[in-house]
Structure 1
């Protein structure tokens, strides 16, 4: 069996903010990140205003959230000693000035930690993300700086394959998560073969759970989507209320960042689309808006 344990040093941190700050000041991985960031200080091509990772490269931003008075940004990071995706982590008081924190979610039992989203509850933050070669994963944290994460069930809660082998009626890929009436809901990104001549069109598949570990597939979530194109997919979804409507943000690997605006039919658990648009025009590369994110701001807005 393939050994999926990360080669990146992993540390446990205390439970209080004061003790965490002391531990971070002496942490070897933090010192490495500080030194690496300093080494790039003279690079004229490295962003100054926008956040950029302290070492190696980064990919999708994930799970932006507001927890105990601070903003937390997560992203797909590629640590130099193990360049499989881990979740990198930074924290900010104002969304402008960012402070690096240690890698927070490491692969195993998944091969790589792909994109996902977070849900903030009163006593914890829930991260749901795609773990390659495994399925969609859930991890939780409740400490002041979200340094310590525990994976629910130590396995994929929505596996990529059925236990007895028949094809699944949905795709298991980038998820997002929200809660309604005490029940957790998640979208899994993908496509369905319902375009002309069976070509793929954007799809987001809906699941529900009462305990974060056991999930039930419900159905495709979106109705009346007349705005996306044949060939689009629904990667990196974020579904949130905005005013008296709801918005679904997603990324198409063909067309780039997009949004769908509409009404959340909570009786049928369907999203009925009334409008939509793109954050950019043209192909998704080389300069498209990549993996757009949204999150509640802790004050009733998004």
Structure 2
């Protein structure tokens, strides 16, 4: 959650804005979409949005709260917006959940289902939803509590539960730690590059139990921590500590790093010396990643999403009347690699329900044959889910995949097998001049085993999410094309890999 001290101002707004964004009406659903409006990523109908907050599953609904300005399309008057989904794909925007009041802005935080009624907030035998969030006023930050007895539709504020008398102490993520029968809170001491851990029997009284940091990347302030157990592919479970920071990310500006280790209910201990940071996403536009709490055991997944923008230019992107979108929901696992355990992300399976008809399929052949096949694919849909597999890539020269969106306008993905790097170039992707930090070429490492490279690309109206090597390397980038077409092409100048398969799925809109 970026913190910006704003000059005091008086703003008169229409009455609906005072209660926050309302649920989407039939007319809104039927209206033509604005340029750059995502079709299968969540966006508010209007106004500013940033960090996802209060991610909790309850009574068949995935709740997504988020940092929201009810009064404009730039950061300010921070409150919690609210949306719900039954499938992590189709979202319904609800009225404002927690509003700024008495000069206290509602900064980032989390929500849980208090199944045991440890807080005493239950009513009529039903467990309450309890939110812990940062209150911000006059350069002071503390942790506060609120609760809901109607499935998150209305909230009662319960006051301050933790105050260190600090200016930068924020973004509590809370979860139930069953082995110790205690609630655990992770919270950031932002300029000190530290995450503190607190425990509580009732979500109201908190005792400090441990601290982590400084470690990893310290290129910018730490914020929006998360801590959770993750299944290791092939067996076992380890803990992952998420720490978002701004600036200092590999693509510049804000980004999300993580640490793998153990947690005993009080302290987090990382695996070995943390010499180099590990990044959840190497693209420019994934921040404040946070996971859902209270996912049913029968589901068994660890699911998260992030804010699909970057603090370097988020307030200047050329969209109206809204600003910002969330990434697609992604499942998380850990994978064993020669360098250690690494986080793996995949789009949730529910997203595949948007696939329409029979995919266009290239069944395998030479690079030249695949290139010719792609060139023949006319009138590709605007919304795409593309899967590609290359074999014999270890000895290949650099090659590229290009997404063309209009005359002289494209996104270019280049793969350099010898140096184990991939790069995404959006310098000619459409509208790029609105901020000096937006155009650029962003790179990521890629591990190649058995000479195979697997790519999956989710392409929305104004975004691309790349999942390479079954989600081991991820890049998320927004772009703003002026053209209204889609075409894919392959190119290379030397030894080429064999193309095992290409599958191009058109996607329906989720709006």
TM-score of Structure 1 vs Structure 2, range by shorter chain: 0.7 to 0.9
1:203 alignment partner in structure 2: 194
Instruction: Provide closer, same or farther for how the CA distance between residues 42 and 137 of structure 1 changes in structure 2, counting only shifts above 3 A.
Output: same
Instruction: Provide closer, same or farther for how the CA distance between residues 124 and 69 of structure 1 changes in structure 2, counting only shifts above 3 A.
Output: same
Which stretches in structure 1 are left out of the alignment for 5+ residues? 12-28, 162-167, 193-199
After the TM superposition, which residues 173-188 of structure 1 pair with which residues of structure 2 at under 5 Å, given as runs?
173-180=170-177, 181-188=180-187
Kept after mapping to 2: 8 A contact 1:178/1:184: yes
**Structure of greater relative contact order (alpha carbons < 8 Å, 6+ residues apart):** 2
Q: CA deviation at 1:42?
A: 3.0
2:154 counterpart of 1:148: yes
State the distance in 2 between where 1:140 and 1:63 align.
11
Kept after mapping to 1: 8 A contact 2:209/2:267: no
After the TM superposition, which residues 1-302 of structure 1 pair with which residues of structure 2 at under 5 Å, given as runs?
9-10=18-19, 30=22, 34=25, 37=28, 41-80=32-71, 83-109=76-102, 111-122=104-115, 123-133=127-137, 134-144=141-151, 146-152=152-158, 155-161=159-165, 171-180=168-177, 181-191=180-190, 200=192, 202-220=193-211, 222=212, 228-243=216-231, 244-254=237-247, 255=249, 256-266=255-265, 269-274=266-271, 277-281=278-282, 287-296=284-293, 297-299=295-297, 300-302=300-302
State the distance in 2 between where 1:109 and 1:210 align.
29
Kept after mapping to 1: 8 A contact 2:47/2:72: no
Kept after mapping to 2: 8 A contact 1:160/1:171: no
Q: CA deviation at 1:36?
A: 9.0
State the distance in 2 between where 1:97 and 1:66 align.
15
State the distance in 2 between where 1:36 and 1:250 align.
40
Q: CA deviation at 1:110?
A: 5.6
Kept after mapping to 2: 8 A contact 1:240/1:295: no
State the distance in 2 between where 1:135 and 1:41 align.
42
Instruction: Provide closer, same or farther for how the CA distance between residues 79 and 219 of structure 1 changes in structure 2, counting only shifts above 3 A.
Output: same
Give the 3-state SS of the residue equivalent to 1:230 in structure 2. Answer: coil
Kept after mapping to 1: 8 A contact 2:22/2:96: no
How many residues get paired?
254
State the distance in 1 between where 2:31 and 2:221 align.
36
Q: CA deviation at 1:277?
A: 1.4
Kept after mapping to 2: 8 A contact 1:186/1:206: yes
Which stretches in structure 2 are left out of the alignment for 5+ residues? 1-7, 116-126, 232-236, 250-254, 303-511
Q: TM-score, normalised by structure 2?
A: 0.45
1:22 alignment partner in structure 2: none
State the distance in 2 between where 1:295 and 1:84 align.
25
Q: TM-score, normalised by structure 1?
A: 0.73
Instruction: Provide closer, same or farther for how the CA distance between residues 36 and 114 of structure 1 changes in structure 2, counting only shifts above 3 A.
Output: farther
Q: CA deviation at 1:232?
A: 4.2
State the distance in 2 between where 1:93 and 1:84 align.
29
Kept after mapping to 2: 8 A contact 1:60/1:290: yes
Max Rg structure: 2
**CA deviation string 1:93-118 (max 9, x = no partner):** 10000011100111235621111112
Instruction: Provide closer, same or farther for how the CA distance between residues 173 and 37 of structure 1 changes in structure 2, counting only shifts above 3 A.
Output: farther
Kept after mapping to 1: 8 A contact 2:55/2:110: yes
Kept after mapping to 2: 8 A contact 1:257/1:288: no
